[in-house]
Structure 1
């Protein structure tokens, strides 16, 4: 389905993504991990054509993604929906309208200008919100929702595009553990129930192991690990993050039980 060969992005003398190659032959949920500056976000932006590649090849279902332009490029961006860490919603706009913005790529300029949406699209947007457990918030302004709820609105907007691939760039980085779990479970259900490929940049190992079928580790722009969650040992993680023997996964955990235990331990240790 997806073939990436020697994909490279240079910014002047700096190589952000360095000859990345891998193949995905069926819909999977893939986690990309690595420290800040490893090239994860740049890679996703090249996939979605938000950033132009310097060299290499990227093909999906036989389509040369890097060679697309004009209408074909916009069609690819509908097929390859992007979810961002900061949600990228219109804060003062109601939730349903934010979700309907996922259809902008296939609507006329006039309809976009006057915010005119077909009734069937409105019903579909509400159905998607209901699927994600936030339909009751449809009439509210997006800014009135919690961070986790806003990220689910962003996921709903992506689903309005009916994409074949969902790219999620650090989708839980700004969320508390409970909301992070809700968002990751939503992405996992979308993969399993819809058969969509999901590629998510993640900053915690436990999240990658728990939700992903395959994990890719990046360091200094290159892939240094590509395997199953079971193969992602602490030793492998040290290599991905360039860390020493003092590397601790606990410090990056988003697992709710672990988080609660750490909070309890800290409160018990605090002076009266």
Structure 2
């Protein structure tokens, strides 16, 4: 169980995440949607301990994770895998080595520097790549792969950690529709088959409706919606994105703004 209690992150006088609280039971697939600057990415980075919280607590299975330091913090980061929009692979390394880097927090530094891995670790990496349908790419440099293939390598690297939770920060924002579907199908299959909680920042209502068990909408650092995908109405979209109130409910199946779009104008055009 995940419990977020009054979590805040301030940058100077501005609250990027402003006193948010919610809980998730079981291995749910949760989507977080909202405008640029809503606080989605900051929240995921706080969960993974890449960004420090200003205040609040996050408990996972009864363990408070925002106060962890040193080895305990690194152990948590291995249990809470992060997938990024831009893949964060090492371009000149082969695919298998990139996947094996999911074990960085559990291995001696020298072994990693010299790219020394056990036979068991290599076999597991290849099995994960095979599961994701890209085993044949194992010897290739990561930079030689398509965007969709690179994102699946990033997912394989996350699975190498054997995490409790997978955090995905706009995992399909850089992909074409076909590759986006493959990546989202992969994350959903991992969620269902492995029983792993997945929390993903998403930028379309269609994607949230199709893949998520629950959707959280953020605006200006606060949660303004928390419900099921079928509750994502036009009114909800207006609350989250601030679009003009004249837009009708049928428009909510259309793509909503990415985190790199001029938010209000984009939302109004796309919801119209």
Counterpart residue number, 1:252: 255
Instruction: Provide the C-alpha distance between the structure 2 equivalents of 1:92 and 1:249, rounded to a whole number of angstroms.
Output: 41
Per-residue deviation, 1:162: 0.2
- 1:32-47 map, 5 Å: 32-47=32-47
Matched, 1:174 2:171: no
State the 1:143 CA deviation.
0.5
- Equivalent-residue separation in structure 2 for 1:210 and 1:68 (angstroms): 35
Q: TM-score, with normalisation over the residues of structure 1?
A: 0.91
Instruction: Kindly state the Cα deviation for residue 66 of structure 1 after the two structures are TM-superposed.
Output: 0.8
How many residue pairs were aligned? 254
Contact 2:205 2:253 in 1 (8 A): no
| Partner of residue 159, structure 1 | 159
Normalized against structure 2, the TM-score is what?
Answer: 0.91
| Distance (whole Å) between structure 2 residues aligned to residue 113 and residue 33 of structure 1 | 38
The SS at the match of 2:66 is helix
Mapped to 2, the partners of 1:45 and 1:66 lie a distance apart of 11
- C-alpha distance in 2, partners of 1:109/1:5? 35
Partner of 2:148: 148
Structure 2 unaligned regions, length at least 5: 258-272
Cα distance in 1 for partners of 2:48, 2:207 equals: 23
Mark the runs of 5 or more structure 1 residues left unpaired by the alignment.
Answer: 255-272
Residue 252 of structure 1: how far off its partner (Å): 1.4
- 2:18 counterpart residue number: 18
**Equivalent residue number for residue 50 of structure 1:** 50
Q: CA deviation at 1:253?
A: 6.9
Aligned to 1:2: 2
Distance 2:252 2:204 in 1: 8
Query: SS of the counterpart of 1:4?
Result: strand
What's the offset of the Cα at 1:249?
3.9
Match of 2:267 in 1: none
Q: CA deviation at 1:235?
A: 1.6
1:84 alignment counterpart: 84
